[in-house]
Amino acid sequence: MRYQPLPASFYQKTRANFMAQMEGNSLAVFNSNDIYPVSADSTLPFEQHRDIFYLSGVDQEESILVLFPNAVEAKHREVLFLRETNEHIAVWEGAKLTKAQATALTGIKTVYWLSDFKRVFQELATHCDTFYFNTNEHYRQAVETETREDRFIAACKKEYPAHRVAKSNPILQQLRSVKAQEEIAQIQMACDITEKGFRRLLSFVKPGVWEYEIEAELAHEFIRHRSKGFAYTPIIAAGNNANVLHYTENNCQCKAGDLLLMDVAAEYGNYASDLTRTIPVSGTFTPRQRAVYEAILRVKKAATKLLVPGTLWKEYHVEVGRIMTSELLGLGLLDKVDVKNEDPQSPAYKRYFMHGTSHHMGLDTHDYGLLHLPMEANMVFTVEPGIYIPEEGFGVRLEDDVVVQAQGEPLNLMDNIPIEVEEIEDLMNA
């Protein structure tokens, strides 16, 4: 693998934490993702399902993890099934994990080949009362494709209709939302790689450069530092393109006087980072651009301070809305009448700042986290306010990744990435 894996002890701990919350005499199953087809014999690059990765560290297709704390035989309390490797596979695809390698990576002592799954699972199923199925219940999910997990659940319900069913996702939503120090270190590594890419751009961006050329520079820098590449589809938006929140065409030329909004970040070891910076294509902000930029920076700094243990998600966003409203009044984008007559369900500031300020991040860019629960220490959040002004031809968004601390202000994992106006201008004109 390209990245340095976490120690087996980390995965032993995640499994123990999950099993501690399972009902008595129950069994949980986690499947790898499919390899998805494009056309003919082409496929998309494999991406491991983050849940089986979180519980095992296995980054290989056609893998299955079974957890059965009350198994009759102790060896079946944690079981891993892998695609069998052989010389033919080694020649055509590269060798897969051996059983010994899998045990060293995961800490799981019982490893079977996938061809044994039906036989072993049938034996285990007769000894349990409840199956924990791993459904996708993320608040942003909108998946239409039938997954490997979906097919397994359907087949299992058909073959074992008398078993009770429970959900793995609520347990994982809580466990994955609070990061271990090992995970924070992986996210920090992703942030550090992102920093290298961003600094590379500050001497590259100039009038006449194309958005896709900037994307290529970032991909080069990320990959050469052991990342697979972008943690999510990059947004590189010059001028008015920045007012399209999920602009990903990246096919326009940067012009003199434009602002360039870049929502781009690297992954490392399947952990994401998430950065947004807005820079002047010509190397210097105009007075108006600077005023909007510095307003956003003040909102970001104020919002960051609110991310402390006990903060409630809805209350946090209401308070950020108040801060943003004040800045928009100062910029002349709103007036007191707009605020006085606003609909509480659609505040006036939403005209210029229409998305949320923060989301959980980690193994997924929009990571697990139950939004009705108070924030806790070691949760990792983005902070990403923005102001979008189509009538003026530009938008500004700034974003860092921060860790909630037990005491004091959050730890900014992107603190070394330039963000102040003077530093950006100095580096671009060096």
Q: Which of 34, 149, 215, 399 is catalytic?
A: 399
Among 160, 163, 366, 392, the one annotated catalytic: 366
Whether 138 is catalytic: no
Active site residue 137: no
Distance of CA 377 to the CA centre of its chain: 18
Q: Which of 221, 274, 364, 425 is an active site residue?
A: 274
The identity of residue 365, as a single letter, is: T
The CA distances from residue 36 to 2, 33, 148, in Å, are 22, 9, 10
Mark whether 397 is an active-site residue: yes
Is 367 catalytic? The answer is no
Distance CA 33, CA 150 (A): 10
For the chain, the first-to-last Cα distance in angstroms comes to 38
CB atoms within 10 A of CB 234: 20
Residues 6+ apart with CB under 8 A from 66: 27, 28, 29, 30, 76, 78, 79, 80, 81, 121, 124
Q: Select which of 49, 50, 277, 359 is catalytic.
A: 359
Question: Which residue among the candidates 183, 263, 367, 400 is catalytic per the annotation?
Answer: 263
Residue 384 annotated in active site:
yes
Q: Which of 384, 400, 401, 425 is catalytic?
A: 384
At 261 the three-state DSSP class reads strand
Q: How many whole angstroms separate alpha carbon 108 and alpha carbon 97? A: 13
Q: Is 151 a catalytic residue?
A: no
Which residues, other chains included, contact 31 with Cβ-Cβ below 8 Å and sequence gap of 6+?
A: 49, 52, 63, 64, 134, 147, 148, 149, 152
Specify whether 150 is catalytic: no
Q: Which element (helix H / strand E) includes 153?
A: helix 148-159
Active-site annotation holder among 54, 112, 388, 425: 388
For the question of residue 359 being annotated catalytic, the response is: yes
Q: Of the residues 144, 246, 343, 372, which is catalytic?
A: 246
Contact 262, 247 (CB under 8 A): no
Catalytic residue (choose from 2, 164, 224, 355)? 355
Active site residue 366: yes
Q: What are phi and psi of 207, to 5 degrees?
A: -55, 135
CB atoms within 10 A of CB 313: 18
Beta-ladder partners of 397:
386
Q: Establish whether 274 is a catalytic residue.
A: yes
Catalytic residue positions?
41, 246, 263, 274, 355, 359, 366, 384, 388, 397, 399
